[in-house]
Structure 1
Amino acid sequence: MKLTRGVHHIGLTVPDLDAAKTFFCDTLGFDQVGGVPDYPSVFVSDGAILLTLWRAADPITARAFDRRANIGLHHLSLAVADDAALDAVWETVHAHPQVTVDVAPEPMRPGSATRHFLVFIPGGIRLEFATPFA
């Protein structure tokens, strides 16, 4: 018997709360569904996942996460419906001036029908977009 039932929400610490909110809401179409101004934080959702975006206490001195050297979130992967959706997201996301491409669209593994791409979004978090496993 499983003791859990999927992801409730994912919290991401960001250096610039407005830039992160703008990326998720304006670029990806998420809705702002709450927040805590005193923390400060913003909650955003695409209807299937809830992200809590928390501003680092001191963004100037905060260190960027190094996925090869630190324990923690290696990347966040968001699902898309199919290849056409992946291509549409790619066109929007990689054109964003504060996005750095890590891996352009490609099969997840050699011979796989599952495709993905990875980028670093404003603030440096590594984000993946992927089609369903095939």
Structure 2
Amino acid sequence: MPEETTRATVDEYLRRLRERDLEGAVGLFAETLDWYAPGAATVPWTGRRSTRAQVMEFFTLLHEHLVPEEFTVTHIVVDGADAVIIGHLRDTVKATGGTLTTPFAAHVTVTDGSFTRYHLFEDSYALAQAVAPDSTPGKV
């Protein structure tokens, strides 16, 4: 049953993230996948990725630059192989001391117990401002 597998995979992923088991969390991704985290060029972990190794790089870069303060999931909606994870987060940027507070949603697809798509949606403008406050688009 796709919905049961999808929900179980999402729940396991979130459990591993809470426990800071990045190897285990990344191990839930397929070897090749469609990953997208839109964002400014000044944010090194944003962009497209297509391999499990690149997903690990995403988390490595994320943790090199941010100190997670809060990660709260408020809703998980499952429809077959697809799920949407909704919540909010707060991080501190190591280099600037700035705070990033943003709602987020992740649209994922699970195939055979592995994530084959992961599209992350968050306030990319607030993220860019927190990481590089002087690089505001349109600023002279």
TM > 0.5 between the two? no
The TM-score normalised by the length of structure 2 is 0.28
Question: Between Structure 1 and Structure 2, which shows a larger proportion of helix residues?
Answer: 2
More relative contact order in 1 or in 2 (CA 8 Å, sep 6+)?
A: 2
The TM-score normalised by the length of structure 1 is 0.28
